[in-house]
């Protein structure tokens, strides 16, 4: 199947920029298990070629219905973001499955991307369902019920380390509250963040990642070491390390209601921007 693009979109950049962890590029196509099927997608110019999903699925997951040009115009407030927008135009935030996103970012604490990918894949292999595509094996992400009934000791076999109890706790929360995702969607950013950070193992950064990448809370600004350095050295000119609240608060004040989108564009250029700020 194919979809003619009428809006700016960069598939390679969008799936490789660190917002999701299950996409793999093989023989020119990007593959990932999404929901109960394996998606196979590639972009040639203004056309997407894909299998395993409908037009509506592709549009929703990749946020192709979001007015990206309007958002980029809104956040284009300084030379740094202007350069990032020019370099990365077409980068779009995904709408990830909420439970998978929550568990993935619990796995992301104190970890690099290869480590996160390993933990997420191990959970899927142990608790998900096997899928086949082009002779390759993939696994669905487990449902909350699949993990909620497991002991932390068994979950730890997926090499998640100390995160085992947090994964089990988040799974129990989702399993016991089937409407949890709908409830989070309906909340303000502040209330949604308060709800998520009430879970053990979910701090400010994890909550902001989940709210930005699964719940369309564009005020959420995840702050890691890269973003703290960029805001400290390139925006505020400070020698003292910024607190999470100060860095994220500055981003929201400076970039406005789409600060999370600005963060993702700056993050995509992080190595260049952070190096220049040293």
Q: Which CATH number fits domain 2-65: 3.30.310.40, 3.40.30.110, 3.40.50.720, 1.10.287.130?
A: 3.30.310.40
CATH 1.10.1670 domain span(s) along the chain:
68-85+216-278
In sequence order, what are the beta bridge partners of 136? Answer: 133
Largest CA distance in the chain: 53
Mean pLDDT by 10 residues, the chain (278 residues): 97 95 97 97 98 97 98 97 97 98 96 94 98 98 96 97 97 98 98 98 98 98 96 93 97 98 96 67
What is residue 36's predicted lDDT score, i.e. its pLDDT?
95
**pTM score:** 0.95
Domain with CATH 1.10.340.30 in the chain: 98-212
Spell out the long-range contacts of 14-17 with Cβ–Cβ below 8 A and sequence spacing 24 or more.
14/62, 14/90, 14/91, 14/92, 14/93, 14/94, 17/91, 17/264, 17/267, 17/268
**54: number of Cβ within 10 Å:** 11
Right CATH for 98-212 from 1.10.3720.10, 2.60.40.790, 3.40.190.10, 1.10.340.30: 1.10.340.30
Residues forming beta bridges with residue 34, ordered by sequence position: 37
Phi, psi (rounded to 5 degrees) for 130: -75, 140
CB–CB of 180/174 below 8 Å?
A: yes
In terms of CATH architecture, what is 68-85+216-278?
Answer: Orthogonal Bundle (1.10)
User: Hey, is 203 helix, strand or coil?
Assistant: coil
Residue with tokens 């406005």: 256
CATH 3.30.310.40 positions along the chain are: 2-65
**Cα 201 to Cα 121, 165, 247, distances in angstroms:** 20, 8, 21
Backbone angles phi, psi at 78, to 5 degrees: -160, 170
Which pLDDT score is estimated for 276? 55
Which pLDDT score, from 0 to 100, does residue 275 have?
Answer: 67
């Amino acid at each position: 199947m194919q979809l003619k693009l009428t809006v700016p979109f960069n598939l390679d950049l969008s799936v490789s920029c660190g917002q999701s962890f299950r996409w793999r590029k093989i023989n020119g196509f990007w593959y990932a298990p999404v929901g109960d099927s394996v998606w196979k997608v590639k972009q040639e110019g203004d056309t997407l070629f894909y299998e395993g999903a409908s037009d509506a699925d592709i549009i929703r997951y990749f946020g192709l219905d979001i007015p990206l040009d309007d958002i980029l115009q809104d956040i284009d407030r300084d030379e740094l973001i202007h350069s990032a927008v020019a370099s990365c135009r077409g980068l779009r935030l995904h709408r990830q499955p909420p439970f998978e996103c929550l568990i993935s970012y619990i796995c992301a604490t104190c970890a690099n991307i290869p480590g996160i990918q390993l933990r997420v894949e191990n959970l899927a292999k142990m608790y998900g369902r096997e899928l086949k595509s082009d002779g390759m094996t993939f696994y669905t992400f487990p449902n909350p019920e699949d993990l909620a009934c497991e002991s932390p000791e068994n979950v730890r076999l997926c090499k998640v380390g100390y995160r085992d109890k947090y994964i089990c706790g988040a799974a129990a929360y989702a399993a016991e509250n089937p409407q949890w995702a709908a409830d989070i969607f309906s909340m303000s950013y502040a209330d949604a963040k308060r709800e998520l950070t009430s879970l053990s193992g979910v701090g400010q950064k994890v909550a902001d990642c989940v709210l930005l990448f699964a719940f369309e809370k564009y005020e959420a600004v995840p702050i890691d070491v890269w973003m703290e350095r960029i805001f400290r050295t390139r925006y505020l000119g400070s020698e003292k390390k910024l607190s999470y609240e100060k860095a994220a608060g500055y981003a929201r004040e400076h970039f406005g209601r789409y600060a999370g989108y600005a963060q993702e564009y700056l993050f995509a250029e992080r190595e260049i921007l952070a190096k220049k700020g040293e």
